[in-house]
Amino acid sequence: MFDPSTGADVASWIEDDGLLEDRLNVYRNNVFYSLTGSLSDLYQVITKLVGEEFFRAAASEFVRISPPKTGRILEYGADFPGFLSAFEPAKPLPYLADVARLEWAWHQAYHGQDSKPLSPEKLQSFPPERMAEISFKLHPTSRFVQSEFPVDQIWSANQDDAEDKNVDLGHGGAFLQVIRPELDVEVRQLSEGAFTFLMACENGLMLGEAYEVAVSREAQLDLTKMLSDFLLGGTFIEATINGK
Amino acid sequence: MQSSHLHKFSKDPIPARAGIGLKAQHYREILETPPDLGWFEVHPENYMGAGGPPHRYLEAIRRNYPLSMHGVGLSLGSAGPLDKDHLKSLKDLTDRYQPGLVSEHLSWSHGQEVFMNDLLPLFYTEESLSVVVDHVSEVQDFLGCQILIENPSTYLTLKDNEMSETEFLIEAAKRSGCGLLLDINNVYVCARNHGFDPMAYVSEIPGDLVGEIHLAGHQVFDIQGTELRIDDHGSAVCEDVWHLHAHALSLIGTKPMLIEWDTDVPELSVLMSEAVKADRIAVASEESKPSVKVS
């Protein structure tokens, strides 16, 4: 039914007045239009980059091969970036899949669990000599996107309220954190060291271990400044030593 | 943000007047200048995220208005078991926001492990009736409240139907204890597509089963010389549908009436003027009723 090639058995259930295929198409079109519309709302920058027509065609192909498995529409579309990276007609835009990853991260942060950021006082309550043992819990809306393209610039330039519409593709890659500490989703450009540090924290490493990994990627990393930025930015919601 | 769960709502009933579908693009305007409106309706599927702005806005709007939830994702007519996660998400929402009405699309999806809402109309057979009744009962037991099921818009006729749509809906309501959501636009669209009398359809529906009315726009297509009307919730309610609405109210009494507009969503003021129109028709219908004589 969904795939026109499997329509034959379905057709036998229906009164045929000569317009059977047209009538079936109303149902197919309704489903496709509604799902590709939801995807377009979610992937607004992709829609702008490729145009409505191209987007609907790509999204229809995605819906055909990866139809939703549940009725929870907010969870649908996670695999669209992966689909785009393999979608032949999109090959001339190699950054497209990474922009889509950023938009999916934004969507998840937007609908993610609200949570109160860690207070600086909590961090100061630990004995200084045990700082290296601190484990951080990241804000539940936090997501990471890494790309060899400046996808944050591409994303910003395609927002409705964008002031700077210029993107320098030669600008290099991006290490991004998407997070919503309060009401607004923020896309933050991090240094490679800070990005590595947060990823390490998320993977359960303690502060000392995470810093070691991070500094191996960025020798100049300033730990104090970085932690202060993270605290101000609501990056963490909890800090513990040995689970306390 | 942390205080959002502290507000406890009580179950405000949905008044027998017009409401509109709540759209994200209208959140701020509704909070800044609350419109004179009976209630709002949302698709719960749009609020199944853990947190974020949608909940914050809905919470704030819910403080000022009764709320109805109209689900489109439970697939009540599908033969397999209901999606328990979906049902749990729905219950979290009904517990949190205490909607005055909960309704659900009457749809089915026949693909294995594929959710394809509205891909075909439901068969009106004893077999599918028992599926719907079981599922509706399960939902009502789980949520702890009655739900309403809605008459769909259809574009083809299935061969093996054993009963009419109204017989099916009435029987489902009787057996499960659910109510009906009478979508006037869907009645009209089906009547035109299948060549029956919409007034007769409406007269077959017992008024006391109807908990809510939906009103929406649709499109008219010409398919090889045959007119086909397609429900798209993307335009104003047409005159014929208003006329049918007035007729329905004269038969079933005034009910909560929803203006549905889900695609090409216009300014809030456009939705409000549709709501005012629905209310005027309801008032006129009340006034034209013969007054009760006290003997």
How does pLDDT run across B198-247, given as a tens digit for each residue? 999 999 999 999 999 999 999 999 999 999 999 999 999 999 999 999 99
Residue B3 in this model has a pLDDT that exceeds 90: no
- ipTM for this prediction: 0.91
Q: Final residue of a domain: which of A93, A121, A142?
A: A93
Q: How confident is the model at residue B153 (pLDDT cuts 50, 70, 90)?
A: very high
Q: What is the mean pLDDT of residues B170-181?
A: 98
Taking 3-state DSSP, the helix, strand and coil percentages for chain B, each rounded to the nearest 5, stand at: 45, 15, 40
pLDDT of residue A4: 45
Residue B137 in this model has a pLDDT that exceeds 70: yes
Query: Which of B1, B115, B119 is opposite residue A71, by nearest beta carbon?
Result: B115
The answer to the question of residue A107 being in a domain is: no
Contact A31, B117 (CB under 8 A): yes
A131/A241 same-domain check: yes
Determine the distance in angstroms separating the CA of A46 from the nearest CA of chain B, rounded to an integer. Answer: 20
A87/A119 same-domain check: no
List CB contacts of A127: < 8 A, sequence separation 6 or more: none
**Nearest CA-CA partner of A216 in A195, A202, A239:** A195
Q: How confident is the model at residue B79 (pLDDT cuts 50, 70, 90)?
A: confident
The nearest alpha carbon in chain B to A37 belongs to B263
A82/A118 same-domain check: no
Contact criterion met (CB < 8 Å) for B52 and A114: yes
A132/A191 same-domain check: yes
A130/A167 same-domain check: yes
Measured at the CA of B97, the angle between CA B93 and CA B100, to 5 degrees, comes to: 105
Taking only the tens place, the pLDDT of each residue in B9-60 is 988 999 999 999 999 999 999 999 999 999 999 999 999 999 999 999 999 9
The answer to the question of residue A103 being in a domain is: no
The answer to the question of residue A184 being in a domain is: yes
Tokens of A152: 């944050």
Contact criterion met (CB < 8 Å) for A72 and B48: yes
The domain total for chain A is 2
Contact B52, A110 (CB under 8 A): yes
**CA A203 from centroid of its chain's CA atoms:** 18
- Taking the C-alpha atoms of residue B139 and residue B83, their distance in angstroms, rounded to an integer, is 11
Tokens of B260: 């549905």
Q: Where are the alpha helices (DSSP H) in chain B?
A: 27-32, 53-64, 84-97, 126-143, 165-176, 184-194, 198-204, 239-252, 268-287
Contact criterion met (CB < 8 Å) for A110 and B52: yes
Our separate counts of H helices and E strands in chain B read 9, 10
User: At residue A177, what is the residue type?
Assistant: Q
A57/A118 same-domain check: no
Q: What is the mean pLDDT of residues B139-160?
A: 95
Contact A70, B86 (CB under 8 A): yes
User: At residue B293, what is the residue type?
Assistant: K
B54 contacts in A (CB within 8 Å)? Answer: 111
Taking only the tens place, the pLDDT of each residue in A197-242 is 999 999 999 999 999 999 999 999 999 999 999 999 999 999 999 9
Query: Which of A13, A113, A182 is opposite residue B158, by nearest beta carbon?
Result: A13
Q: Which residue has the higher pLDDT, A58 or A5?
A: A58
Contact A100, A80 (CB under 8 A): yes
Q: Final residue of a domain: which of A64, A93, A122?
A: A93
Determine the distance in angstroms separating the CA of B53 from the nearest CA of chain A, rounded to an integer. Answer: 6
Taking only the tens place, the pLDDT of each residue in A91-126 is 999 999 999 999 999 999 999 999 999 999 999 999
- Taking the C-alpha atoms of residue B231 and residue B242, their distance in angstroms, rounded to an integer, is 15
The answer to the question of residue A59 being in a domain is: yes
Q: How confident is the model at residue B197 (pLDDT cuts 50, 70, 90)?
A: very high
What structural domains and CATH numbers belong to chain B?
12-287 (3.20.20.150)
List CB contacts of B259: < 8 A, sequence separation 6 or more: B18, B19, B20, B21, B215, B216, B237, B271, B274, B275, B278
pLDDT of residue B292: 56
List CB contacts of A7: < 8 A, sequence separation 6 or more: A1, A24
| Backbone phi and psi for residue B172, each to the nearest 5 degrees, phi listed first | -60, -40
- Taking the C-alpha atoms of residue B42 and residue B24, their distance in angstroms, rounded to an integer, is 10
Mutation pick from B28, B156, B189, B193 vs chain A, by most beta carbons of A within 10 Å, is B156
pLDDT of residue A70: 87
| Backbone phi and psi for residue B209, each to the nearest 5 degrees, phi listed first | -85, -15
User: At residue A79, what is the residue type?
Assistant: D
The answer to the question of residue A206 being in a domain is: yes
Mutation pick from A10, A12, A27 vs chain B, by most beta carbons of B within 10 Å, is A27
pLDDT of residue B112: 53
Place of tokens 């009723």: B289
How many beta-carbon pairs below 8 A join chains A and B? 125
Taking only the tens place, the pLDDT of each residue in A128-161 is 999 999 999 999 999 999 999 999 999 999 998 8
A121/A80 same-domain check: no
A3/A88 same-domain check: yes
**Residues of chain B with a CB closer than 8 angstroms to some CB in chain A:** 1-2, 4, 45-46, 48-56, 72-75, 83, 85-86, 89, 110-111, 113-120, 123, 155-160, 223-224, 226, 228, 230, 263
Our separate counts of H helices and E strands in chain A read 11, 5
User: At residue A20, what is the residue type?
Assistant: L
Residue B2 in this model has a pLDDT that exceeds 80: no
Residue B294 in this model has a pLDDT that exceeds 80: no
The answer to the question of residue A98 being in a domain is: no
Q: How confident is the model at residue A192 (pLDDT cuts 50, 70, 90)?
A: very high
Contact A138, A198 (CB under 8 A): yes
Query: Which of B2, B49, B118 is opposite residue A116, by nearest beta carbon?
Result: B2
Query: Which of A70, A72, A114 is opposite residue B4, by nearest beta carbon?
Result: A114
- Taking the C-alpha atoms of residue A121 and residue A117, their distance in angstroms, rounded to an integer, is 12
Q: What is the mean pLDDT of residues A29-41?
A: 93
Determine the distance in angstroms separating the CA of A6 from the nearest CA of chain B, rounded to an integer. Answer: 11
The answer to the question of residue A39 being in a domain is: yes
Domain that holds residue A165: 113-244
Determine the distance in angstroms separating the CA of A128 from the nearest CA of chain B, rounded to an integer. Answer: 30
Residue A80 in this model has a pLDDT that exceeds 60: yes
Q: What is the mean pLDDT of residues A68-88?
A: 95
**Nearest CA-CA partner of B272 in B35, B14, B63:** B35
A228/A135 same-domain check: yes
Contact criterion met (CB < 8 Å) for B115 and A10: no
- Taking the C-alpha atoms of residue B40 and residue A179, their distance in angstroms, rounded to an integer, is 30
A4/A118 same-domain check: no
The answer to the question of residue A101 being in a domain is: no
A192/A146 same-domain check: yes
The nearest alpha carbon in chain A to B226 belongs to A19
A47/A141 same-domain check: no
